[in-house]
Amino acid sequence: MKLRLPFLCAVFGALVATIPALAENTEFLFGLRSAVVEYQTTTTGRGMNNTSTETYWIDDSGRKTARLSQSSSAKGRSKTEPTETLALLLDGWIYNIDLKKKTGMKMSMEQAMRMAASVGMKVPGQNGQACVKDFVEKNGGRWLAPESFLGRTCDVFELYGFKTWAYKGVPLKTEGTAAGITVSQVATKLEENASIPAARFEIPKDVTIQDMPDMSGMLGALMGGGRPRQTQTKSSQPAVQKPAVAEAKPAASTEGSAPEAKPAPKPVAKKAAKPAAKVEPNAVKVTSAEFGTIASKLHVSGYTVMAPESDGGGHTVNLLDTCGGVLGVTMLPISIADGLEKNEALKVDSKFEHDGHPAVVGVLVDPSEGDSSIVLVRYPERKLALLVSATPVKPKEELMKLLEQIDL
């Protein structure tokens, strides 16, 4: 249990920088298009006496960030140990780099959210202005009256024993004590709408980057006392969520009927997807490379396109927003689409035609993982069905905007 609070604070710090702050437009992660913040940070307690200076660069309203930290650490009577680290957020990936050792680790935002959830942190599933408020309140925090700091009016909240002053989503001051360790991070300078060179967001060429192992199961066991869950640690790609499809219940077989439909993949919000073990005989007639080209052209404001994955005879790609929302595009074998339409959990709203192809729109009811809205379009000539999904539920019009980006 001693590990819990320090680790939660570290994970929270990584996630809070990606929570949308603008109420009017969820495309932006911060209320500033760009900024440069300089901090002074001290960490004391349990034999630690660290001081550091940090510079935080924010560009594209938070889609790209870089944080350079230079510190000196005094451990008891030992010599001072200087450190220099660089943290980057680029294209949905988090990089933590030791510039002295020339080594670094990376993990996807989805993996960070799984790790946060494994230690009890609740990542909200809504968008817009309620997202930050929901995050703080669901995790046992509370909002305080606004205060002025560094000449700016800041939102103030307490969470996990720490008090934070944030201006347009950017933390300017954080202080508190957890597990006997006291941390104070204070901004000494804030430059708004700064011009930042692109080189600030480049990974140093002389650094070796490795994948961060997915420790969700291990951390869940350490924090909660349960058994570690098996997690995928070898993949060099971000863990991709399964499409939002509830497991199909096959109809009772009768003589002369069609073969029993395979269960449709079920969404797994906090688990890594397993790689396909073998080629499926009923696989869709679209290669993984072709699907990768389709995925590369997708764009939805406020969402990051994750790495595509091929599994179970089909392909899927997810688009994640910073509050846990997921859009999915999946190519399914016809047999799985058959099972999906027969699934009792699917509540069909209507049937229609999309570019001459039969289609259905509806909601998949899943009390455990959350309901999902779907549009399912059949392409018999390609021996596949195209599924567009959203969790939480979005109106049909939003799914159709994504569907229109796909050219089959």
What CATH number is associated with residue 400? 3.40.1000
In a domain, 230, yes or no: no
In a domain, 231, yes or no: no
In a domain, 270, yes or no: yes
Q: How many domains does the chain have?
A: 2
Query: What pLDDT does 89 receive?
Result: 87
pTM exceeds 0.85, yes or no: no
In a domain, 166, yes or no: yes
Q: What is the pLDDT of residues 186-235, one digit of tens each?
A: 999 999 999 999 999 999 999 999 887 655 544 444 333 333 333 333 33
What CATH number has the domain bearing residue 100? Answer: 2.50.20.10
Whether residue 14 is found in the same domain as residue 154 = yes
Whether residue 313 is found in the same domain as residue 205 = no
Whether residue 251 is found in the same domain as residue 372 = yes
Q: What is the largest CA-CA distance in the chain?
A: 82
Whether residue 186 is found in the same domain as residue 282 = no
Whether residue 269 is found in the same domain as residue 199 = no
What does the alpha-carbon distance between residue 336 and residue 318 come to, in Å, rounded to a whole number? 19
In a domain, 235, yes or no: no
Neighbour-count burial of 279, counting CB atoms closer than 10 A to its CB (0-12 exposed, 13-18 middle, 19+ buried): exposed
Query: What pLDDT does 185 receive?
Result: 92
Query: What pLDDT does 120 receive?
Result: 52
Whether residue 150 is found in the same domain as residue 219 = yes
Query: What pLDDT does 341 receive?
Result: 87
Whether residue 196 is found in the same domain as residue 333 = no
In a domain, 229, yes or no: no
Whether residue 86 is found in the same domain as residue 134 = yes
Which H or E element spans position 37?
A: strand 35-45
In a domain, 233, yes or no: no
Q: Give the pair of three-digit tokens for residue 362.
A: 């509806």
Which residue segment(s) compose the domain that 84 sits in? 4-224
Query: What pLDDT does 38 receive?
Result: 96
Which H or E element spans position 12?
A: helix 4-16
Q: What is the pLDDT of residues 303-352, one digit of tens each?
A: 777 777 777 688 888 887 655 678 899 998 888 888 888 888 899 999 99
Which residues are bridge partners to 241 per DSSP? none
Choose among 197, 158, 196, 194: nearest CA to 176. 158
Q: pLDDT below 70 — which residues of the chain?
A: 1-29, 46-47, 72-81, 114-132, 179-180, 213-281, 312, 321-324, 368-369
User: Of 174, 196, 224, which residue is a domain's last?
Assistant: 224
Query: What pLDDT does 121 receive?
Result: 58
In a domain, 397, yes or no: yes
What does the alpha-carbon distance between residue 262 and residue 248 come to, in Å, rounded to a whole number? 8
Whether residue 216 is found in the same domain as residue 309 = no
Whether residue 172 is found in the same domain as residue 257 = no
